[in-house]
Amino acid sequence: MEAAKAEEPFLRHVETDVLIPKLMREKAKERCVEKVEAFNHCCKESGFFMVFKCREQNAALKECLTTHYKDPIFFEECKQEYIREKLEFERTGVPTKNRKQKLPTSM
């Protein structure tokens, strides 16, 4: 595994401090999906009073997300995914977002 680290591309400040954390936020929301859904449901049900009525759901969501944000293993996983996507973009010139979209069935 050490050989793979030696071959890692240089990551700019914006990548390590902005882009990888953005990926972490997206993935953490996937891992905390039950808490996200509970908070969203509470907000929809509570309307204007959501600030007061949804404190418990908000606290549970924040705790779940923060656990992932502070996890160095999770950061490394997201960093490696970011690097794979970056290298694939450099190879193909196609952004990940466009590669994941379905191609039209008729031309």
pLDDT at position 3: 47
Q: Is 69 helix (H, G, I), strand (E, B) or coil?
A: helix
pLDDT at position 100: 56
Q: What is the mean pLDDT of residues 82-94?
A: 90
**Over 90: is that where the pLDDT of 85 sits?**
yes
Per-residue model confidence as pLDDT tens digits over 53-80: 999 999 999 999 999 999 999 999 999 9
Residues 6+ away with beta carbon under 8 Å from 21: 69
Planar angle of CA 99, 104, 107, nearest 5 degrees = 130
pLDDT at position 94: 82
For 107, the token pair is 């031309």
Instruction: Name the residue ranges covered by the structural domains of the chain.
Output: 10-92
Per-residue model confidence as pLDDT tens digits over 33-56: 999 999 999 999 988 888 899 999
